[in-house]
Amino acid sequence: MSGPLAFVGGAEWQEGCTFDADLLAASGGTEVVLLPTADAYEHPEVLIESATTWFDGLGATVRSLDVLRRPDALVEEHVEAVRNARFLYLSGDSPMHLRSVVKDTPLWDAVVEAWQGGAVLAASAGAARLMGDPMVDPRGGAFTLGMGLVTNLAVIPHHDKWTGDRAHRTLRLSPTGVVVAGIDERTALIRAADGTWSTAGAGDVAVFVDGKPADLSALSEGVTAPA
């Protein structure tokens, strides 16, 4: 059975992210394996420091993997660390860079293997976009290919910071039947191990189907995930 999957709307590891304690407990461990890949061209060290401080307050350690370029996703040490992780966290703002680094690599295979083996997997901001399929392209709001851990779900992080015009454009372009979830910062949309969906944290999650507001039941009915 696959483990819990958390889509975080950004501004992670701050006050209000109450869900992290529950995810840590669900992992059954005290270590979080961090992939800051999606911030490779920004300041991954800032993410690492923030995560380390936050999880230290929850009684856990952070092991950050230096997976910033595609060759890094081929390093056996990194692959084994991901494969053996009980709590994986992907973060950063560039889903396009993350996809270019991990797609069709042993490291991504290890992410999927760990999650489908019961590990907790959380992804925030740009990394959260990439976990579903289709993905909302941050460059213009159109839809493109995601990594497809779950299908028929598109995630919009930082939803509380989106302008009305931008949101309207994305929803207008939404493929028929696709569930679109707009997730506020410091907020998580969580698929539990039993397949049920819930929200947690400081903000809200807005769900849409065919451009129209829906509720969480649309996720259970429309989103496909491995058993």
**Region class of 97: left (phi > 0), else alpha (psi between -120 and 50), else beta:** alpha
* 173 assigned to some structural domain: yes
Give the separation between CA 62 and CA 31, rounded to whole angstroms.
Answer: 6
For the stretch 164-221, pLDDT in tens is 677 778 888 899 999 999 999 999 999 999 999 999 999 999 999 998 999 999 999 9
What is the extent of the structural domain holding 214? 5-222
* 65 assigned to some structural domain: yes
For position 48, what pLDDT does the model report?
97
Q: How many domains does the chain have?
A: 1
* 205 assigned to some structural domain: yes
3-state secondary structure of 159: helix
* Interacting residues of 140 by C-beta distance below 8 A, sequence separation 6+: none
* 174 assigned to some structural domain: yes
Is the pLDDT assigned to residue 139 strictly greater than 90?
Answer: no
* 113 assigned to some structural domain: yes
| Cut 0.85: pTM above it | yes
Rounded mean pLDDT, 95-117:
97
* 227 assigned to some structural domain: no
Q: 141 pLDDT band (50/70/90 cuts)?
A: confident
Give the separation between CA 123 and CA 91, rounded to whole angstroms.
Answer: 6
For position 84, what pLDDT does the model report?
98
What's the distance, CA 47 to chain centroid?
15
Task: Report the CATH number that the domain containing residue 81 is assigned in CATH.
Answer: 3.40.50.880
Q: 86 pLDDT band (50/70/90 cuts)?
A: very high
For the stretch 5-63, pLDDT in tens is 999 999 999 999 999 999 999 999 999 999 999 999 988 999 999 999 999 999 999 99
